[in-house]
Structure 1
Amino acid sequence: MTASGLIIAAPRSGSGKTTITLGLQRALVRRGLTVRGLKCGPDYIDPAFHAAATGAPSANLDSFAMPPALLRQIAGEAAAESELVIAEGSMGLFDGVPGPEGATGASADIAALLGWPIVLVIDVSGQAQSAAAIALGCMHYDPRIRIAGVILNKVASERHGRLVGQGMARIGLPVLGALPREASLILPERHLGLVQAGETADLQARLEALADAVTAAIDLDALVAAAAATTLPPPGPAARPLPAPGRRIAIARDAAFSFVYPHVEAGWRAQGAALVPFSPLADEAPPEDCDACWLPGGYPELHAARLAGAARFLSGLRAFAETRPVHGECGGYMVLGRSLTDADGVAHAMAGLLGVETSFATRKMNLGYRRAVLQADGPLGAAGSALTGHEFHYATIAATGEDEAFATVTDPHGAAPKPAGSRRGLVTGSFFHAIAVAQ
């Protein structure tokens, strides 16, 4: 079985893609379909919501950071294990970075690669027939893709909906549904996006409410009919997974540490590694029977005082690092450092395994793709190995300390290479989130 697929995309961020995607996924599951969700681009949070809505795993598809073989593998597995894939775009449909055609990180790249039509979500607040001009531009901007229909969001009234519909009829674009302006359709957010699925109160009730709203407002039969068969790229050399940092990997997993890409964990398991979770917030140390420790990104800045007081976790982490590799990504890097200053300006002592001091009181958004070249042998590969990934954080570095750099990083916009992260002994860390081995 190879499922058909659709991408729910929008002309810009904030149009309602996520809530509508989740409502569609849950509504179609309620109809008895086997549905899988996928997320275009680098995003840790939305796939967890997809998994909650569908009851099946979700993953990411990233045309910039992932080689074609990895895209084929992830999309092929999702299509083979479902009847319908409902993928969610990121940002605006065509938003990406400089790169060869098909490798810019834009959601349109994924639609073109896999042959999935696009259902465009347009926030029509503050406009009527003019929304059709935006849709028309999206229809013709990229000849590789096909827009199968549009879902109108934040419709103020029946009259408003009719006016918008007149514009869409003029350009020949089917309106598959129209959702009213409704505050209950908004999921709670924080500084890096939605509050995580595991922390969202009454998540199942919220998903049911989204499904009810979508069922009432969208022609689900027409939406399913708009999906097209998945066209996988031709087979090529197998994708090289990120190296597993150990055979038994102690991985921090709780409300402070949760940002790990599903395909990364799957790749480690495929290499024979076992992932052993532990909770720093519960004051648990890395299990002694593990040979590597991984501190993912997440929200340690929201739990800084609790982490600073987790004596068993901190002492156990320090003891672990004396004989075995420890790596921290983003939030994990902050916890490996000397101190973390919270949003109120209070400095909290962290593990002190690296000399970096970070601050969430002095905030600056750092966002974008990165290519990292490792400066020494370590958990993610040998010196000189190149990885693709991204940064997304608001924390700033108050002091770098005296440690050597973990990697040299560049971005797709031509910035000069610069040192990033820290390494000391068996401990490494940086704000860089690794996605794949660079090709």
Structure 2
Amino acid sequence: MTAWPPGLLVSAPSSGTGKTTVMLGLLRALSEDGAIVQPFKSGPDYIDPAFHFAASGRSSFNLDTWAMDGTLLDAVAAHANGADICIGEGSMGLYDGVATKGLAGFGSSAETAARMGWPVVLVLDVGGQAQSAAATALGFASYRPDLPFAGVILNRVASPRHERLTRLGMEKAGLPVLGALPRRGDLTLPERHLGLIQAIEHPDLEAAITGYASFLREHVDLAALRGAARGGPAPAAGALPLPPAQRIALARDAAFSFTYPHILEAWRSAGANIVPFSPLADEPPDADADLVWLPGGYPELHAGRIAAAGAFLDGLRRHARTRPVHGECGGYMALGEALIDKDGTRHAMAGLLGLVTSYEKRKFHLGYRRAVLETEMPGVEAGTALRGHEFHYSTIIEQPDAPLARVTNADGEAVPETGSRRGHATGTFFHLISAEGAWQAS
């Protein structure tokens, strides 16, 4: 096998340590230096890849060892062809995953780094400590001896003295310090209930990313960091998911935007014609589409506009009389009878399913999902096992339709969000990532 582009995985001991800021600044700084940088995201995150694209100019893809088998992981990793360097962003803490093994692992960022041969860059929030930070870093570096470790970036450093003391600890532990970022309150991205706001909603994303890149140039040894990049053997030719139809009308705006990038790229690569439309702009789906696909997003923030979008809703209903419509999470909610917003106001939705959901009665739903289809859905036969991820706060008030699937969490425990079907309309609360041994092109 030939070598493929070297890479690094930017990770941290936990969420909230600043790794996304480091990731975006690093992507932009390396791109400004003339490198072709391929971004990746470890784990089931559908918001960060859009930020990665804005920073690097290259589409970012998820690598997920729980939901993807080796064949699909190889196919996704192959998007690095032609790049000079790969930069992956971890999720949660470096070793955080689930308790029960999935298709290729437990879903941790460490597994992604090991599979790709990428050394780990550990972003450490050193606020409130100095030499003691080295003990944390040393634990992460030695917890899995086979995992390559590039070094640490110290974040939220309070003063030159604080930096000096922290570096002394790292030196004693034998850990390279690749950079030290002073504490700055303006280096945060806006958030809402599902984490970061979407890239398209950021008031001045380009200026923010440019600022991150300048900050990293000033405080991180980019040459040393790039020199630490490594890579394993080139991935084998892999299989990507087949499109569920030839002509797909895809809802695409601030209310409907959460689809895993490898899914859309696979559909396009297989020759499907994807026709975007905006429900918020009251655009109906393409009248000649074979399938209408409503991704997840934030319909609860735009419920009034969706309910008033007569052209969109009428076009959706016309399509569903004879052809399939599928919704994921937010798209599923929009296919239902009604959506209740945070203030308790009930908004009529498309009514293609009997589903009624409430954001007023918030309940956190988070985790991997395995769904065995009770009936077919667009492009997938009954009996197929799908893998995906659920992440929302809405609660089901009514779900009178037949369940679409038997759905379990990562440990095989049943969950009540089974999805549903009525006529040509189907929907799920999980975001589709892969299928087990089916639905893939060779």
**TM-score of the two chains, using structure 1 as the length reference:** 0.96
- Distance 1:157-1:359 versus aligned 2 partners, 3 A rule: same
- In the TM superposition, residue 202 of structure 1 has moved relative to its aligned partner by 1.2
Alignment of 1:162-201 (within 5 A): 162-201=164-203
- In the TM superposition, residue 230 of structure 1 has moved relative to its aligned partner by 3.6
Counterpart of 1:90 in structure 2 is 91
Q: Which amino acid aligns with 1:90?
A: S
- In the TM superposition, residue 418 of structure 1 has moved relative to its aligned partner by 5.2
Q: Which amino acid aligns with 1:222?
A: A
Counterpart of 1:245 in structure 2 is 244
Q: Which amino acid aligns with 1:175?
A: V
> Which stretch of the first structure deviates more once superposed, 318-327 or 259-268?
259-268
Q: Which amino acid aligns with 1:413?
A: D
Counterpart of 1:411 in structure 2 is 409
Please list the CA deviations of residues 150-205 of structure 1 after superposition, one character each: whole Å capped at 9, or x if unmatched.
00111111111111111111110011101111011101111111111111111111
Counterpart of 1:214 in structure 2 is 216
Matched-pair contact (CA < 8 Å) for 2:100–2:411: no
| 2:402 alignment partner, SS class | coil
- In the TM superposition, residue 417 of structure 1 has moved relative to its aligned partner by 6.4
**TM-score of the two chains, using structure 2 as the length reference:** 0.96
Please list the CA deviations of residues 210-251 of structure 1 after superposition, one character each: whole Å capped at 9, or x if unmatched.
001000010001000010134345x37x4351x422110000
Q: Which amino acid aligns with 1:84?
A: I
| 1:281 alignment partner, SS class | coil
Matched-pair contact (CA < 8 Å) for 1:153–1:179: yes
Counterpart of 2:440 in structure 1 is none
- In the TM superposition, residue 380 of structure 1 has moved relative to its aligned partner by 4.0
Matched-pair contact (CA < 8 Å) for 2:4–2:234: no
Matched-pair contact (CA < 8 Å) for 1:283–1:313: yes
Instruction: Report % sequence identity.
Output: 57
Counterpart of 2:430 in structure 1 is 432
- In the TM superposition, residue 272 of structure 1 has moved relative to its aligned partner by 2.3
Matched-pair contact (CA < 8 Å) for 1:406–1:419: no
CA RMSD of aligned residues (A): 1.4
Please list the CA deviations of residues 304-342 of structure 1 after superposition, one character each: whole Å capped at 9, or x if unmatched.
000000011111111110010000000000000011111
Alignment of 1:38-117 (within 5 A): 38-78=40-80, 80-100=81-101, 103-117=105-119
Please list the CA deviations of residues 235-291 of structure 1 after superposition, one character each: whole Å capped at 9, or x if unmatched.
37x4351x4221100000001000111110122123321100000000011110111
**How many residues matched?**
434
Q: Does 1:26 align with 2:45?
A: no
| 1:154 alignment partner, SS class | strand
Counterpart of 1:5 in structure 2 is 7
- Distance 1:422-1:205 versus aligned 2 partners, 3 A rule: same
- Distance 1:195-1:141 versus aligned 2 partners, 3 A rule: same
Counterpart of 1:135 in structure 2 is 137
Counterpart of 1:300 in structure 2 is 299
Take 1:144 and 1:323, find their aligned partners in 2: how far apart are those partners? 55
Take 1:258 and 1:291, find their aligned partners in 2: how far apart are those partners? 20
Q: Which amino acid aligns with 1:437?
A: A
Take 2:370 and 2:37, find their aligned partners in 1: how far apart are those partners? 33
Q: Which amino acid aligns with 1:352?
A: G
Counterpart of 1:160 in structure 2 is 162
Take 1:141 and 1:97, find their aligned partners in 2: how far apart are those partners? 17
Q: Which aligned runs of 4 or more in structure 1 are off by greater than 6 angstroms? A: none
| 2:316 alignment partner, SS class | helix
Alignment of 1:349-368 (within 5 A): 349-368=348-367
| 1:358 alignment partner, SS class | strand
- Distance 1:240-1:223 versus aligned 2 partners, 3 A rule: closer
Q: Which amino acid aligns with 1:181?
A: R
Alignment of 1:261-272 (within 5 A): 261-272=260-271
Q: Which amino acid aligns with 2:433?
A: I
Take 1:135 and 1:26, find their aligned partners in 2: how far apart are those partners? 26
Counterpart of 1:393 in structure 2 is 392
> Which stretch of the first structure deviates more once superposed, 47-56 or 412-421?
412-421
* 1:202 aligned to which of 190, 204, 224: 204
Matched-pair contact (CA < 8 Å) for 1:407–1:419: no
